[in-house]
């Protein structure tokens, strides 16, 4: 899967980020995870392999990646614990039962939509749950002055990620920290919870 992702430029978590997240999940010991952004199913499969009782709902909108995700999930033997929802995560919220709660929500999709994903799915977070956002340092570019970036689309994306990070760090309901590993991982926990 890593080779396929590298060859076809599919954005999956890099090894350092993935290992860090698995270590974090060992501390959390989740029973349920919502993953926004499946790509080819890499993260879901790695998480399912590490936690034999874990159930994952994952979302993907790219038709080509959905086909590969179904293939890899089917081959992995974890299809009974990984449920793939097809479509844009901004429109799939109605497919989740209102009373469904996740121990972890993992955001790893369109970086410019992170705030919307957070706000849309946060009501599905279990009482002591954690929201993990990947790629929040965007190759270190969020530390730079976005106005100095020549590429207009990249500049706009950098600004959106910077705004998300600032919003996250100042969120009145969450304590968040950004770990500079992989492409940057933000961990957000509801305030007042241990």
CATH of residue 26's domain is: 3.40.50.150
Domain range for 8: 2-190
Question: Was 94 annotated as part of a binding site?
Answer: no
Residue written as tokens 């990249």? 154
- For residue 92, the SS3 value is coil
Question: Was 119 annotated as part of a binding site?
Answer: no
Average pLDDT over residues 116-122: 97
Question: Was 60 annotated as part of a binding site?
Answer: yes
Question: Was 47 annotated as part of a binding site?
Answer: no
What's this model's pTM, rounded to 2 decimal places?
A: 0.92
Highest mean pLDDT among 12-21, 73-82, 144-153, 156-165: 73-82
Per the structure block, which two tokens stand in for 60?
Answer: 């993907």
Of 6 and 63, the structure prediction assigns the larger pLDDT to 63
Question: Was 13 annotated as part of a binding site?
Answer: yes
- For residue 60, the SS3 value is strand
> CA-to-CA distance for 139 and 141, rounded, in angstroms?
5
pLDDT at 193: 53
Residue from 121, 130, 97 nearest 37 by CA: 121
* Number of structural domains in the chain: 1
DSSP state of 81: T
Q: Has residue 36 got a pLDDT over 80?
A: yes
Question: Was 188 annotated as part of a binding site?
Answer: no
């Amino acid at each position: 899967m890593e080779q396929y992702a590298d060859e076809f430029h599919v954005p999956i978590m890099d090894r350092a980020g993935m290992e860090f997240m698995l270590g974090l999940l060992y501390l959390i010991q989740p029973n349920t995870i919502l993953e926004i952004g499946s790509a080819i199913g890499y993260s879901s499969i790695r998480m399912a392999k590490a936690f034999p009782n874990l159930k994952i709902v994952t979302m993907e909108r790219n038709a080509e990646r959905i086909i590969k995700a179904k293939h890899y999930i089917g081959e992995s033997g974890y299809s009974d614990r990984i449920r793939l929802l097809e479509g844009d995560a901004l429109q799939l919220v109605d497919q989740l039962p209102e009373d469904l709660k996740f121990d972890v929500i993992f955001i790893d999709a369109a970086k410019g939509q992170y705030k919307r994903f957070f706000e849309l799915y946060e009501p599905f977070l279990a009482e002591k749950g954690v929201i993990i956002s990947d790629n929040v340092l965007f190759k270190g570019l969020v530390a730079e002055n976005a106005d100095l970036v020549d590429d207009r689309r990249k500049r706009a994306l950098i600004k959106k990620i910077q705004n998300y990070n600032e919003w996250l760090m100042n969120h009145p309901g969450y304590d968040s920290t950004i770990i500079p590993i992989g492409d940057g991982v933000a961990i957000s926990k509801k305030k007042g919870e241990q």
